[in-house]
Amino acid sequence: MVKLSVNINKIATLRNSRGGNYPDLLKVASDVQDFGADGITIHPRPDERHIRYKDAKMLSKVISTEYNIEGNPIPEFLDLVKKIRPTQVTLVPDAHDAITSNSGWDTIKNQDFLKDVIGELKALNIRTSIFVDPIEKIISGAKETGSDRIELFTEKYAKDYFLDPKKAIKPYILAAKEANRLGIGINAGHDLSLENIEYFTDNIPDLLEVSIGHAIICESIYLGLENVIPMYLNLLK
C-alpha cells in the first residue's frame, strides 16, 4: 500500500491569516494521524508565511508516524532539520519568493552540491529525497547524489490528466521504471487529488509514498478531514 503523508502548510496559512492559534496546528497534526494518515509533511520557507521554524520543532513532539520536512537546503533549513532529525528530508529547489514548488532539481548541474547536503543528512540517519521532474537523465543524476528516494513533481500530470490520462502519465511511468532499475525509492506529490490519485498510483510501479496538502484541505472544507483521509487511503490500497 502506498503511504499517505499529509502536508499541513495550509492549516498554518489559515492560522496566520488571523493571528492567534486557531486552527491549532499541533491538534490538526495529531488528528490527521488519528484519522489514518501515515505521516505529516511540512514545507517551512524563509519568510515563514505558513509553517514557522518553531512549528517544525513543536510538531516533532506530536508526530508519532513519519515526519517529512521539505525545503530548499539553505543554511537555516539545514540547521533546523539537523536539530529535529525527522524521518525524511525532501530537498526542493524553491526560490525564496516562490508561491509554491514549481520545478524539480537539475540533479546533473547541482550534483556536487546535492551530494554534500545528502551526505550530511544521511550521517544523521535521516532518509533523503530529491524533488525532481519526470526526466530519465534527472533520475539517473539523483541516484548519483546518494539520495534514498526521489519525489516526482506531479503538477503536469494533474494539469493534463483530464485531457488525456494516458499521455499525462507516460513520462512518470518511464521515470519510475528508471528509478526502479537504479534502485532508488519513489515518492510523488503536487496537485494530486481524489480525482486523479487512483490512476496515478495504479500506473506507477513500486510507488512508496504520496504527499498531498492543498487538495486534501480543499476537499475537507466540504467533506471533513476525518472523511477525506480514509477516502485517500482506500484509493491507495
> Which amino acids are annotated catalytic?
43, 70, 190
Strand boundaries in 86-158, DSSP class E: 88-91, 127-132, 149-153
Bridge partner list, 71:
91
| Gap between the Cα atoms of 70 and 78, Å rounded | 11
Judge whether 11 and 218 are in contact, CB under 8 Å. Answer: no
At 3, list the grid cell: 503511504
Residues 6+ apart with CB under 8 A from 65: 33, 37, 38, 39, 40
Contact 234, 200 (CB under 8 A): no
The residue behind cell 491538534 is: 27
Cα 23 to chain centroid distance, Å, stands at 22
What are the grid coordinates assigned to 235, written together? 484509493
d(CA 58, CA 16): 16
